[in-house]
Structures are given as structure tokens and as C-alpha cells.
Amino acid sequence: MYGWRGRIGLLATAINTVMEPEFWQLAPPGVSIHTTRVPTERAGTPEALREMEAASLAAAADVAKGEPGVVVWGCTSSSFYEGPAGNERVKRELSAVVKAPAVTAAGAMADCLIANGIKRVNVVTPYVETTNERLRQFLAACGIEVVQLATFDMLDMFDHAKIEPADIYAKAKTLDHSKAEATFIACTQVRALEVVDLLEQDIGKPVYSVNQACAWQAFALLGIDPGIRNRGSLLRSLGEPHAGAGQNRLARTPGRQGAA
């Protein structure tokens, strides 16, 4: 059976063309990705984000049939839009449906920053200002200050995938990194995985992307070191001797642990 080491159930939006390919890039031998699509509109309006959240539960019932060891809800903005309490509610509901630990994009974003002691962060997003403000509020409620935010200001969520990795790199480099402890690149529809390692080298501080963070949390919950050494310090940390102890907080998520 594929996924003999671990199976990840991925809930990706219908228009997302980035998250699934990036997850397959990161999947080590014995780990498989099983994707169900969540209906959505192209425009990232508040109404569309709330509708996606509701639709994710129906999609979770489908992905649960493959008995994944962890389920990942792959929309950053919908999972932070109602704040930390809303994000935690979504995780509980998804976990109950799938009977496995749940990861949300916004939750993984906050958790990777908290786990690494980051309290001041620069952020790159493709979002419009209304969504950016909700992101600032979400992180603030998690005890994290957004020092600077650079945005591509795009309402059409399909077009987020058209941003090239080189553009992400250039946008991140425009920020003043002297006061921030790390940089985070938001949105699962943004192709940032290819440049996080280069940005860390050139900025001299940690750089995280949301797909990277979701994979990091999923692998941690499965108890797997994917052996990835060229996609940023976050994923490399899973291979460090202290990583297992450091992920005990994640393992308390209710539901089935590990792959079936």
C-alpha cells in the first residue's frame, strides 16, 4: 500500500495549483499525499472565505475514507479570518470528522513561529488590505507582532499562483530585516518553497512559507523526519536530536496518531 510510512490527507481549494505539487516535492519515501478539493470562488472576499471553511468539512469526510494519519486544511486566509478561536474550532471539527490530528495553514503558521521563539516577524502576502489586516490581528492574538508587511495586493486567488518565486524573493528582500526575527511568506497558493533556503542564506534569519509550515507540522504529527535539508531551517529541524521532544505539544491533537 502507498503511504506505508504515513498518509497525509490534503484539503486543497479547487483553484489551488501550488500546494499539492509542493507537498509532493516534500513527501519522502513511504509517505503519500491524498487530496480532496474544496469548492471556492476566485475572489478572496470575506463571504468566499467563510464558505470555504464550511465546505472543508464536507471535503474532510471524503478524504477520511483514505484513513490518513493527519489531515491538512490548505487555505491560509480562511483559517485565520475568524481569529485563533475560529482556527481552533476548525481544527477540532476537522479532526472529529477524519479521526486524525488536523493541521490548518494559519495554525501551522503561528505554531512554527511560536515553536522557534519568534515574536517579531516580517510578512509577505498576495492579499488585499482587508485580508492583511485580519492576518495582523490573528498573529497579534498569538503574541506575534508583524513588523513590516509587503503585499502583491491581489484579490483573485487563482492569480496568486502566477507570482514567480523570483518575485517572492525580490519582495522579501525589499523589507527591513533589522527589527524582525524572521520572515513569513503567507498563502498556500504562492510558490515560495523554492526560495526559502536562499532567502535564509541572504537575509541571515529564518524564512518560512505556509506550505513548508504545514508540511513541517504534518510530518511532526506523523513522527517522521522527511530528510529534507535544502528547503529551509524549519524542515531541517525535524532531523535534529531535540525535535521529537519539541513537538510534544503538537502530538496532543486529538485523534489517531500516525498512519493507519
Q: Tell me the CATH number for domain 109-209.
A: 3.40.50.12500
- The most distant pair of C-alpha atoms in the chain lies apart, rounded to whole Å, by 49
Q: What is the pLDDT of residue 82?
A: 78
Whether the CA torsion 54, 58, 59, 64 is positive or negative: it is positive
The CATH number that domain 6-106+211-252 falls under is 3.40.50.12500
Please report the pLDDT score of residue 151 as a whole number. 97
So what's the pLDDT on residue 180? 98
How is the chain split into domains, by residue range?
6-106+211-252, 109-209
Residues (pLDDT < 50) of the chain are 244-260
Tell me which residue has cell 475514507. 65
- 110-161, pLDDT tens digit by residue? 999 999 999 999 999 999 999 999 999 999 999 999 999 999 999 888 899 9
Q: How far apart are alpha carbons 83 and 250 in whole angstroms?
A: 19
**Contact assessment for residue 98 and residue 44, using Cβ atoms and an 8 Å cutoff:** no
Q: What is the pTM of this model?
A: 0.89
Q: Say what the pLDDT of residue 251 is.
A: 35
* Residues 216 and 234 sit within 8 Å (Cβ to Cβ): yes
Answer yes or no: same fold for 6-106+211-252 and 109-209. yes
Q: What does the DSSP assignment read for the chain?
A: -TTSSEEEEEEEETT--SHHHHHHHHPPTTEEEEEEEE---SB--HHHHHHHHHHHHHHHHHHGGG--SEEEEE-HHHHHTTHHHHHHHHHHHHHHHHTS-EEEHHHHHHHHHHHTT--EEEEEE---HHHHHHHHHHHHHTT-EEEEEEE----BTTGGGGS-HHHHHHHHHTS--SS-SEEEE--TTS--TTTHHHHHHHHSS-EEEHHHHHHHHHHHHHT------SS-HHHHGGGSTTHHHHTTTGGGSSS--S--
The pLDDT, as a whole number, for residue 243 is 52
Distance CA 21, CA 26 (A): 9
**What is the predicted pLDDT for the residue at 155?**
85
